[in-house]
Structure 1
Amino acid sequence: MARLTAGIGSSHIPALGAAIDNGRTAEDYWTRCFAGYDWTRTWESDQKPDVIVLVYNDHASAFDMNIIPTFAIGCADRYTSADEGWGPRPVPDVMGDADLAWHIAQSCILDEFDLTMISKMDVDHGLTVPLSMMFGQPDAWPVKVVPIAVNVVTYPPPTGNRCYALGEAIGRAIASYPEDINVQIWGTGGMSHQLQGPRAGLINKAWDTRFLDDLTADPDRLRTIPHIEYLRETGSEGIEMVMWLIMRGALGANVRELHRHYHVPASNTAVGHIVLEPVR
Structure 2
Amino acid sequence: MNTIEGVIFDWAGTTVDFGCFAPVSAFMKAFQAAGVEVTVAEARAPMGLLKKDHIRAMLTMPRVGREWEKQYGRSFQEEDIEALYAQFEPLLLGSLAEFTEPLPGVLQTVDAIRGKGLKIGSTTGYTDNMMAIVTQGAKAKGYEPDCWVSPDATGCCGRPYPYMIFRNMETLKLSAPWRVVKVGDTAADIQEGLQAGVWSVGVCTGSSQMGLSRREFELLSDKAPVIEQTRQAFLNYGAHFVLEAVSELPALIEHINRLFTAGKRPYDTHD
User: Normalized per residue, which structure has more strand?
Assistant: 1
Tell me the TM-score normalised to structure 1 length: 0.27
User: Normalized per residue, which structure has more helix?
Assistant: 2
Q: State the structure with bigger RCO (CA 8 A, min sep 6), 1 or 2.
A: 1
Tell me the TM-score normalised to structure 2 length: 0.28
